[in-house]
Structure 1
Amino acid sequence: MTDYKSVIHVVLGSISYGLLATIVKYANDLGVHTSTLTFLQFFIGFLILTVLQFTRRVNAKEKATTTVKSRIKLTLWGSTLGLTTTLYYLSIQYIPVSVGIILLMQSIWISLILEAIVNKQLPSKSKILGVITVLVGTVLATNLIQADIILSPIGLLYGFGAGVSYAFSLYASSRIETQLPNILRSRYLVLGGLLLICLFWNRQIIDTFQVQAIPWGLLIALFGTVIAPIFFTMGIPKTGVALGNIIASLEIPVSITSAVLILHESVEPIQWIGVSIMDQS
């Protein structure tokens, strides 16, 4: 029997993730630089997770399994979180949010390839059919079949790169040092993302920093590095990975709807058909 409270947790996590790109693009339109937003998202998120970590009780077994090697491993894998966020936020500078989220979610079939390589086993026919469905949905959702549609190649490259990086992020979240508590794991994964962002943007973070960016940074930090992961951690173990992934695909329509309502982006009926096809994959 389905635990409906857990379903609600996954839904809320999906909504949190789905709102990120729209908030970032809205802040960009107000003059806040992407480097500032990405830095603040991970810096504030790391601080919040650190406070949560040090206010919880730590048992003897946890102390024994939390080794320096585990922390380094999580931090290194966490760099994929920072790379995903950076590439995703860069992509929506060149292409609509509604297209950026579709490219990000190409991680669905990229993760399948990664899983096949790691497990040294070909995916099942049903999974291959799912990949084909995602690709068909992508063509429709991005409206590539429309003759006069013009999408920035650099934006598409950034978006697809974010999808590849996101696949590795999902792998890290589900496979790396899973014996450790989720808040502790999240803290070091976010730390890895923060370090990558500092290396990627470098002095630009300082040069473009604005005090008025802090509220926006706090907002996306709460949605992207605190609220969503906590809700997913609470919900997916009880709903199961299969149902959890289906529910989490709500991120796509949430992102597109918020882009339409807040950014006034134009989305054609054929694109909604593509989104529906991807949600059924």
Structure 2
Amino acid sequence: MKNNVLKGSLYVALGATSYGMLATFVKIAYKEGFTTAEVTMSQYFLGFLGLLILNLFRREKSVAKPETSGLKSVFKLILAGSSLGLTSTFYYLAVQYISVSVAIVLLMQTVWMGVIFEMLVHKKMPEMRKIISVCIILAGTLLATNLLEESVIINWKGFAFGILAAMSYTATMYSSNNVELHFPVLKRSLFMILGGCIVVAFIFYSSINSQFSFAIFLRWGIMLSLFGTILPPLLFTKGMPLTGMGLGAIVASVEIPVSIAIAYIVLDEPVGFLQWIGVILILFAVVLMNLQKR
């Protein structure tokens, strides 16, 4: 049992680490002259192609009745996957204006947004433990984003994109845990990424012109699609059943320090002492929110 939990935690941690590296890759791509349209489209189109190939060579059994796997279910998954495309688009736009450390903290606001979303959907007040956790997250965000520092000028365009990314990420988290769970993992991921592809193509359609650099597909597209759209869903799906949602959410929060640490090492982005205190507060709140009652 302990070995299974340890194995599951490792899968979830690797999935979260994969997500944590994305923003740094995107920042480097921006420095090389690539645009948000090129970065996002290459990630989703190659990601969809990769999942399509995996689906062709690996057959998985559905865990529900065959009649529930019709066109209606496929359409639901494609629609649910549209929030994936929005999350990446808003997140990568945010990274264009603000540092990776601030962007990842804003993206993780999905923790308290998820609490509010659950409250609205289920029409039930959250437990006091969750309310306290939300307050701690907000306090940690003030520190982690340097909002209290008068000498620091926050780019509000990047801040707004970060919050929009968190909102769409909240929708993604909900659909990942609730929409058409009977589908095999690979097929489910394929249709959700297809939804993301459609949204990204719709948003950036006008950017496909003579100036669009298709070099992005080989330069960064393969890496972004691997670490952003192929590996994480597979690792989370393998790990979460072994850890359970509570422990899984705690382990997945490693994405925050990993993202900040990689940006600090690779991009040399400054991270102050108060920012680290803010990150620790957010991580503590995630643990508090997901601790099971004995």
Q: Is TM (by shorter chain) over 0.5? A: yes
TM-score under structure 2 normalisation? 0.92
State the alpha-carbon separation in 1 of the partners of residues 155 and 126 from structure 2.
Answer: 33
| Amino acid in the other structure paired with 2:57 | T
| Amino acid in the other structure paired with 2:144 | A
Task: Confirm whether residue 246 of structure 1 aligns to residue 250 of structure 2.
Answer: yes
**1:151-206 CA distances to partner (integer Å, 9 max, x unpaired)?**
11111000000001100010011100011111111111110111000111112034
Gaps of 5+ in 2: 286-294
Other-structure match for 2:56: 54
| Amino acid in the other structure paired with 1:243 | L
State the alpha-carbon separation in 1 of the partners of residues 23 and 126 from structure 2.
Answer: 32
Q: 1:208 to 1:87 in 2, by over 3 A?
A: farther
State the alpha-carbon separation in 2 of the partners of residues 59 and 178 from structure 1.
Answer: 12
Task: Kindly report which structure 2 residues correspond to 1:25-174, keeping only aligned pairs within 5 A, or say none.
Answer: 25-57=27-59, 59=61, 63-174=66-177
Other-structure match for 2:216: 213
| Residues 14, 250 of structure 1: 8 Å contact kept | yes
Q: Percent identity?
A: 43
**1:201-223 CA distances to partner (integer Å, 9 max, x unpaired)?**
11203444323211301101000
| Amino acid in the other structure paired with 1:175 | N
**1:59-78 CA distances to partner (integer Å, 9 max, x unpaired)?**
58665432100011111111
Other-structure match for 2:274: 270
Task: Confirm whether residue 190 of structure 1 aligns to residue 193 of structure 2.
Answer: yes
**1:97-129 CA distances to partner (integer Å, 9 max, x unpaired)?**
110000000000001111111111111100111
State the alpha-carbon separation in 1 of the partners of residues 242 and 60 from structure 2.
Answer: 24
SS at match of 1:179: coil
State the alpha-carbon separation in 2 of the partners of residues 208 and 110 from structure 1.
Answer: 38
Gaps of 5+ in 1: none
Pairwise CA distance, 1:230: 0.7
State the alpha-carbon separation in 2 of the partners of residues 247 and 196 from structure 1.
Answer: 30
| Residues 77, 189 of structure 1: 8 Å contact kept | yes
Q: 1:269 to 1:196 in 2, by over 3 A?
A: same
Q: 1:4 to 1:150 in 2, by over 3 A?
A: same
| Residues 33, 208 of structure 1: 8 Å contact kept | no
| Residues 95, 158 of structure 2: 8 Å contact kept | yes
2:205 is aligned, of 193, 202, 206, to 202
| Residues 38, 214 of structure 2: 8 Å contact kept | no
Q: 1:252 to 1:10 in 2, by over 3 A?
A: same
State the alpha-carbon separation in 1 of the partners of residues 208 and 115 from structure 2.
Answer: 35
2:261 is aligned, of 254, 257, 261, to 257
Other-structure match for 2:291: none
State the alpha-carbon separation in 1 of the partners of residues 88 and 46 from structure 2.
Answer: 15
| Residues 100, 263 of structure 2: 8 Å contact kept | yes
State the alpha-carbon separation in 2 of the partners of residues 43 and 12 from structure 1.
Answer: 23
Pairwise CA distance, 1:232: 0.6
Return structure 1 stretches of 4+ with deviation > 6 angstroms: none
| Amino acid in the other structure paired with 2:88 | T
Pairwise CA distance, 1:58: 5.1
User: Superposition RMSD on alpha carbons, in Å?
Assistant: 1.4
1:24 is aligned, of 17, 23, 26, to 26
